[in-house]
Structure 1
Amino acid sequence: MQVVGYDPSGRGSALLVSDGDGSEARRISLEPGTDLGFGLGDRRCAGSIDREGVHYACDRPETPYCEFHTTSWVCARCTGTCLKDEMDCYDPHAVYLAAFAPRTVKVGVTRAERLETRLREQGADRGAHIHTVSNGRIARELEAGIAEELTDRVRVPTKRAGLAANVDADRWEGALAEFDVIDRYAFDYGLDLPVRPVVETIASGTVRGVKGRLLVLDRGATTYAVDMRDLVGYELEEGADERRLQSSLGSF
């Protein structure tokens, strides 16, 4: 059974797995309290999943995806000049700000009806809807202008470093002061972390929660933060991982 993808928070958090037999990928729920008991075996390309959910396996050694299964979302690079053969983003779009504890604020764009879901998928602590426009081209133009002052990308290590922190309210309110805010969001992922989790790549422990693509697991007296993308491509083996793992000070 191979990990072939994942659903982040905002999409019913789960690991997507497949037996590589041409059937639909299955979901392993990551609801809080779920006990995972898998070791990590060999790792290879995770192949692809089509729109119907059918998984197509690949035996190439590159991970998490080989050159034939690495995809790039062209819209993520758009700054208002469409990079597709024909522009197709005519739905209403929202421009938003997202806060990641303690002090990171990013600007982003999504289809208007997906705004709250998109914020949760990224693991944002707070969000603010600052513009609604008629299509994606206009939204990307606005985003590119705002990104000259605020970042438009937050990497996983930055999100992980803020797991046990609170948002700097002064920093957040200062960023919002430049805009006529349409709506605000505040998210609680139920992690209740007294200290920052230990970084590991494991698939065994009790699920504390998921924030963005960060899976937080309790194992023994230590809490671990796992980037789910780092699990993609691994074969899961029944039985808890027996490797010696780094422990937090609280476990002694």
Structure 2
Amino acid sequence: MQIVGYRPRVDEPARLLVSHDGDIQAEPLEPGVELTYTLEDRHCAGTIDDGTHISCDEPTAPYCSTHTDRWPCARCQGECDLPLASCREEHAIYLAAFAPAEFKVGVTRSWRLDTRLREQGADLAAHIRIVENGRIARQIEADIATSIGDSVRVDRKRRGLHRTVDTDAWETLLDDFEVLDRFDFEYGLDLADRPVPETLLSGTVRGTKGRMLVVERNKTAYGVDMRDLVGYEISQRETDRNLQASLGSFD
């Protein structure tokens, strides 16, 4: 069995995509689920074609150069000729907040706004502009990003999983923009302490937030980046690794 992908929680519970000899099965990551897997060797996760997994033995993970999906809009700043059909759709420009005080600007097709924010694990967000296509949206995003930034690293999101947003700083930021709509997301993690960074798939699921999975073992919460799981072969048994424990586990 190999982990070949993941899906953050949006309309359905988060899940890992696991290949069993080419067949894809979804491993649900709902709160309370007991995970009993050990991570074995890791290599390229290959690709999924029409619901079937095509494996790859290249050692680069999560994907080798052949199977790396290079999204042309990833670093676009509006200097393009609208190469994709999706570029011509109406776009939303938004600001997102991640606890305690990490902020970013972003763009997405208008109909995907709520989904995109949940995929990123945003705590709060504000919709600030609607424009006719992706090129205009990227130009505006690039301008705003010079002062706010357009990305928040996963490790910084993990550090705030047990915190709430500094609403004073958030409202001060929004003072400079016309807010069309606001979003406030709840993920139900209910953490008292910062999760320990780890890559594992063994323990009780506390919940997910964007691509972050929180599992608990021996009274310690671990924050797992689901992308770091992709490519691993897994076996159905609990890990016997020695794991770092949080101070809270000794209470």
**C-alpha RMSD of the superposition:** 1.4
Which string of whole-angstrom CA distances, capped at 9 and with x for unpartnered residues, describes residues 60-81 of structure 1? 1111111111122111211112
Q: What one-letter code is carried by the residue in structure 2 that aligns with 1:73?
A: W
Q: 1:64–1:232: 8 Å Cα contact kept in structure 2?
A: yes
Q: Aligned partners of 1:20, 1:181: CA distance in 2, in Å?
A: 49
Superposed displacement of residue 90, structure 1: 1.4
Return the match for 2:207 from 205, 209, 234: 209
Deviates more, 1:198-207 or 1:68-77: 68-77
Q: What one-letter code is carried by the residue in structure 1 that aligns with 2:232?
A: Y
Identical counterparts, % of pairs = 57
For the residue of structure 2 that corresponds to 1:216, the secondary structure is strand
Partner of 1:59: 57
For the residue of structure 1 that corresponds to 2:152, the secondary structure is coil
Partner of 2:102: 104
Which string of whole-angstrom CA distances, capped at 9 and with x for unpartnered residues, describes residues 88-138 of structure 1? 511111000000111111000011011111101001010100001111111
Residue 221 to residue 177, structure 1, CA distance change in 2 (3 Å): same
Partner of 1:33: 32
Which string of whole-angstrom CA distances, capped at 9 and with x for unpartnered residues, describes residues 115-169 of structure 1? 1111010010101000011111111111011001111011101101111111111
Structural mapping, 1:92-241, within 5 Å: 92-241=90-239
Q: 2:82–2:134: 8 Å Cα contact kept in structure 1?
A: no
Q: What one-letter code is carried by the residue in structure 2 that aligns with 1:105?
A: F
Matched, 1:3 2:7: no
Q: Aligned partners of 2:60, 2:191: CA distance in 1, in Å?
A: 35
- Runs of 4+ off more than 6 Å: none
Deviates more, 1:68-77 or 1:194-203: 68-77
Q: 2:93–2:106: 8 Å Cα contact kept in structure 1?
A: yes
Superposed displacement of residue 14, structure 1: 0.5
Q: 2:91–2:131: 8 Å Cα contact kept in structure 1?
A: yes
**TM-score, normalised relative to structure 2:** 0.95
Superposed displacement of residue 53, structure 1: 2.6
Return the match for 1:82 from 74, 80, 88: 80
For the residue of structure 2 that corresponds to 1:77, the secondary structure is coil
Q: Aligned partners of 2:184, 2:86: CA distance in 1, in Å?
A: 31
Q: What one-letter code is carried by the residue in structure 1 that aligns with 2:6?
A: Y
Q: Aligned partners of 1:126, 1:171: CA distance in 2, in Å?
A: 12
Which string of whole-angstrom CA distances, capped at 9 and with x for unpartnered residues, describes residues 215-246 of structure 1? 00011111110011111111111111111111
Residue 84 to residue 72, structure 1, CA distance change in 2 (3 Å): farther
Q: 1:9–1:123: 8 Å Cα contact kept in structure 2?
A: no
Q: 2:6–2:17: 8 Å Cα contact kept in structure 1?
A: yes
Q: 1:97–1:130: 8 Å Cα contact kept in structure 2?
A: yes
For the residue of structure 1 that corresponds to 2:140, the secondary structure is helix
Superposed displacement of residue 9, structure 1: 2.6
Partner of 1:249: 247
Residue 217 to residue 158, structure 1, CA distance change in 2 (3 Å): same
Q: Aligned partners of 2:124, 2:27: CA distance in 1, in Å?
A: 28
Matched, 1:15 2:13: no
Residue 67 to residue 84, structure 1, CA distance change in 2 (3 Å): farther
Superposed displacement of residue 27, structure 1: 0.7
Q: Aligned partners of 1:226, 1:29: CA distance in 2, in Å?
A: 15
For the residue of structure 2 that corresponds to 1:5, the secondary structure is strand
For the residue of structure 1 that corresponds to 2:73, the secondary structure is helix
Which string of whole-angstrom CA distances, capped at 9 and with x for unpartnered residues, describes residues 195-220 of structure 1? 10111111011111000110000111
